[in-house]
Structure 1
Amino acid sequence: MELELLGADRSAPKNADTVTWDGPNDPQNPRNWSKSFKMTNVLLVGLSILCTNFATTMFAPAAPQLAEEFNVYSSILVTLTVTIPSLGAATGPLLFAPLSELVGRVWIYRITIVLFIAFAVGLAQSTGIAMFLVFRFLDGVCLTSFLTCGAGTIADLFEKDDRGAASAVFALAPLLGPVLGPVAGGFVAESLNWRWVFYIILMLTGAIAIPVTLVMRESMESIVLGRKAARLRKETGNPKLRSAVARDLPARQIIGRAFSRPLRMLIFSPIVLLLGLYLAFVFGLTFLLLATFSQVFEETYGFGPANAGLAYLGLGVGCLIGTLVFGKLSNSVAKKNTNPEHRMILMMLGGPFVPLSLFWYGWTAEYQVHWIVPIIGTGFIGIGIVFVTASGQLYMIDTFESEASASAMAAITLVRNGAGAFLPLAAPPLYDSLGLGWGNSVLGFISLTFVPIAFLFYKYGGFLREKYAFQV
């Protein structure tokens, strides 16, 4: 089955009215920017993801304070105050992916980071639980703009064999932010109050918004060439000049097709569906662990609120180590292989870390082994999550390239953040019924069922890419 994406046929013969790059070394081509400037753009995307995801869970240790102030007695509603941004983040990709078709990626970044700051003001000044939940949901919608469009930015800027470090940064940010957030949030909640969590978020996001607005440049080929064609039409007076990748379609039709594309990819592409479910599970697992660490280490090991926040560092350090190792190995593997399936090699290596480490964490906590042992176990979970997430994202980027990768990531972000919103709600009944040992073992066995996906795509990925092709 073949699904079509918007875009020009790049193999079509060019004529005098076609506007394209001025040779392979054209400085306007984003792939010819200096490596430092390309990495600056990627780092700003990563920092924005880090900061907005940091905001998602920094509030977690302060949730009981808000519940007390607003007289909230439902444990599910209190958990929802922490996880509802993920629900908003599940809807954002359906908006940002089609809009980027018209205005490019950078304007999406600029507008959404400003809106994120505005909604954070509303959170800090909330006067009731309903107002708070609405602004948390809207903040969640905004935070996905960088996740949705970031994969496309990497594909715009880097050749296939040079994407390892950029993709590692892109994979680390949404994992490290939620890990570091509760560590800081625990101290803020204990020393100040829950409103100060959002005042601090305002300061951090505001500092990042400045370079995002002033430094980042548009990298999307269709937008850059479209602007070049418009400039040349004005300079030459030739109204027939068109970009080589121009879409001669009404804006409404472009948005309509782009809006439906992530859903069609999710439904009809086994590549997007299977990897989406795998990445959704490990992302939801991350949030489940983040939502329960404080309770586990307070009740099992007698940690105070501030010290319980330090329990998150095991997962954070594991994610950091995983990023450094992945970035080093990925480019080396890429230089020896040309097809996207080589991205599965590191997923095959890192995927088993997740279930094995869940068994480690669960049973050492169940039997109250010294607190450092389960924390070390969560470190290996972090390494596995980074290897799975970064490998999956790189496979998507290599398979679907610049424009299509944004839609593929929108599809994945949709299911991933849905899992991040709802999977943590299963933790209290799971642990209450089965305990930490068997409760985490259930999660480990579920994770184990996803491990063969990497081996499946490594062997049959080429066949699936040809059979379920998306032509740009």
Structure 2
Amino acid sequence: MAHSLQPHRPTKAEIIDFAALEGHDADMPSNLGSIHHVPSNPSTRPHSPSNEKDVKSSALEKDIEKGANPVSSSIAGEPDEEAERDPNIVDFDGPDDPQNPMNWGFTKKWGMVLLISAITFLTPLASSMFAPGVPEVMRDFGSTNDMLEGFMVSVYVLGFSFGPLIIAPLSEMFGRLPLYHSCNLLFIIFTIAAAVSTNMSMFIVFRFLMGTVGGAPMVLGGGTIADLIPREHRGTAMAVWMMGPTIGPCVGPIIGGFLTVAKGWRWNFWFVAIVAGAFFVISFILMRETSAPVILERKTKKLRAETGNEKLKSKLDSGLPTKELFRFSIVRPAKMLTRSTICFAISLYVAITYTYLYILFTTFTAVFTNQYHWHGGITGLSFLGLGVGSLVGQFAYIHYGNRTVSKHIERGDFKPEQRLHIMCIGGFFLPIGLLIYGWSANFQTHYMVPLLGTGIIGFGLLMTFMPANTYLVDVFTTHAASAMAANTVLRSLMAALVPLSSQKMYAALGLGWGNSLLAFVSLALVPIPFLFIKYGERIRARSTVKL
């Protein structure tokens, strides 16, 4: 029975990067192991379960904003002499073990990547696809409540703020595959339920549940890609996968506009259910588990049964009970959001800009119908500018943002705040786009002018959203996933609730001054990245934030 170790010794940077992609903190095990804080003297390193628990508890008291410079740490799961001598540690059988997802064939790997990317495209698309059909929904359910009109669209995003907090720890316990299958199946069921809803309450409840389980591929997708694709080839896969949450919400209403005219608003949901059903069948047949901790745990159980050796233990076994997994997933992000200046300020910036996206989603149909007399499927084209701008923004960030940071990494003088330079530029595009869109629609200029304005808004959104997220990863390193979770919860809550008053705002202020108000708020946020570029390092050095 050979349990040989892989020759590559993972660095802390690789483990942190990998864990962030998987959606959990780096003190929990992944394919590359995990980071645990231990006494610097190897002779005093604890081995008993009780001592290990004490070590993990002490690690929780670490300053989370100084995550990049731990006082003393070691990498759990790395190839060390102790592990090599222990015959009870179960690992992959060498670097070419076919059980290791990294060793799967090209077709199997990229087939999974494409399938996951397709699912990740569908669920965000469903968030806004029926937006052009909102007036029909209101008419069918006999409602004239402006607040409900917006909430029907944004309640889906409210589900995004709760689902990931549950899905992430469950995937640590049971693996990614059961969560993919169960969430995909529930998504289909809730989508069908929304399609056959007979009243507003039923419709809104099932829209919320759609969002709750629909967030699964966005929680699990990055980790699955990290499981399968080596770091040097991961950029392409990540770019394809990220198009789902970026472009999906903008493409959805374009399809939905024409589908609503042809078949009615309910067919937006039937369409999503049919496509999701096809993806579910394909994934059930083709997808396999990719989480190394889960694969090794299954291997360990099998070997225990075959050999009768109950001392066998997976190399990536965290030893964390269910209670601790949920604690990491739910409590830690809440603490980071309320106690960390950097996490709160950056998350607030992202939340407000993300909220603007859903204010536009919930009002585009009414604006272009009233101002430009667009009807039927044509109203869906009002979302085109936002989609094109978002796509351009994504590629601009990937090219210029990564190139700038790479120069500093090569020089050896990289600091997390250097991620924010491109955010400083992107921040100005939001108010400019909002002013162009608002006043051009107000004065009913040619429709291309407000579409241009929304394109600039989309560009600005991506140029602020993406560097902000990567900055959080660089600042919080080991606890990057918790910072991202805090960010996700705040932005999802705001994007679900703030747009409820958007119709009343435009009714009171008009399109020109209403969007000017949004522009002024976004302009007030512009100094945040400038301040962190200047004072961020000092804030992190003086931080006393504890988990």
Q: TM-score range by the shorter chain?
A: 0.7 to 0.9
1:357 paired to 2:440: no
Distance in 1 separating the partners of 2:399 and 2:107: 18
1:424 paired to 2:495: no
**Paired residues of 1:354 and 1:385 also in contact (CA < 8 A):** yes
1:321 is aligned, of 381, 392, 417, to 392
Which residue of the partner structure matches residue 448 of structure 1?
Answer: 523
**Paired residues of 2:146 and 2:504 also in contact (CA < 8 A):** no
1:264 paired to 2:335: yes
Distance in 2 separating the partners of 1:469 and 1:397: 19
SS of the equivalent of 1:352 reads helix
Q: 1:120 to 1:107 in 2, by over 3 A?
A: same
Q: 1:190 to 1:114 in 2, by over 3 A?
A: same
Q: How many angstroms does 1:204 deviate by?
A: 1.9
Distance in 1 separating the partners of 2:185 and 2:345: 34
1:281 is aligned, of 337, 349, 352, to 352
Output the TM-score relative to the length of structure 2: 0.76
Deviates more, 1:84-93 or 1:18-27: 18-27
1:70 paired to 2:145: no
Distance in 2 separating the partners of 1:359 and 1:35: 48
1:408 is aligned, of 483, 489, 494, to 483
Superposition pairs of residues 108-123 of structure 1, within 5 angstroms: 108-123=179-194
1:367 is aligned, of 422, 436, 443, to 443
1:144 paired to 2:215: yes
Q: How many angstroms does 1:77 deviate by?
A: 2.0
Q: How many angstroms does 1:346 deviate by?
A: 3.1
Counting matched residue pairs gives 469
Q: 1:256 to 1:405 in 2, by over 3 A?
A: same
Q: Aligned AA for 1:390? A: M
**Paired residues of 1:229 and 1:241 also in contact (CA < 8 A):** yes
Q: Deviations over 1:278-334 (max 9, x none)?
A: 222222111111111121122122222322211110111111222233333344345
Q: How many angstroms does 1:255 deviate by?
A: 2.9
Which residue of the partner structure matches residue 383 of structure 2?
Answer: 312
SS of the equivalent of 2:75 reads coil
Distance in 2 separating the partners of 1:418 and 1:160: 33
Q: Aligned AA for 1:385? A: L
Which residue of the partner structure matches residue 436 of structure 1?
Answer: 511
Which residue of the partner structure matches residue 387 of structure 1?
Answer: 463
SS of the equivalent of 2:513 reads helix
Q: Aligned AA for 2:334? A: L
Q: 1:367 to 1:389 in 2, by over 3 A?
A: same
**Paired residues of 1:84 and 1:133 also in contact (CA < 8 A):** yes
SS of the equivalent of 2:149 reads helix
**Paired residues of 2:120 and 2:245 also in contact (CA < 8 A):** yes
Q: 1:451 to 1:162 in 2, by over 3 A?
A: farther
**Paired residues of 1:93 and 1:411 also in contact (CA < 8 A):** no
Distance in 2 separating the partners of 1:73 and 1:226: 55
Q: Aligned AA for 2:504? A: P
2:118 is aligned, of 44, 47, 51, to 47
Q: How many angstroms does 1:121 deviate by?
A: 1.2
Q: How many angstroms does 1:341 deviate by?
A: 4.2
2:75 is aligned, of 11, 16, 39, to 11
Distance in 2 separating the partners of 1:241 and 1:468: 42
Distance in 2 separating the partners of 1:470 and 1:213: 44
Deviates more, 1:278-287 or 1:459-468: 459-468
**Paired residues of 2:26 and 2:479 also in contact (CA < 8 A):** no
Kindly report the root-mean-square deviation, in angstroms, between the aligned alpha carbons of the 2 structures.
3.3
Which residue of the partner structure matches residue 94 of structure 1?
Answer: 165
Q: Aligned AA for 2:398? A: G
Which residue of the partner structure matches residue 179 of structure 1?
Answer: 250
Q: 1:396 to 1:98 in 2, by over 3 A?
A: same
Output the TM-score relative to the length of structure 1: 0.87
Unaligned runs of 5+ residues in structure 2 are 1-24, 37-73
**Paired residues of 2:194 and 2:203 also in contact (CA < 8 A):** yes
**Paired residues of 1:164 and 1:326 also in contact (CA < 8 A):** no
Q: How many angstroms does 1:419 deviate by?
A: 1.7
Residue identity (%): 39
Q: How many angstroms does 1:375 deviate by?
A: 0.4
Deviates more, 1:207-216 or 1:20-29: 20-29
SS of the equivalent of 2:215 reads helix
Q: How many angstroms does 1:191 deviate by?
A: 1.8
Unaligned runs of 5+ residues in structure 1 are none
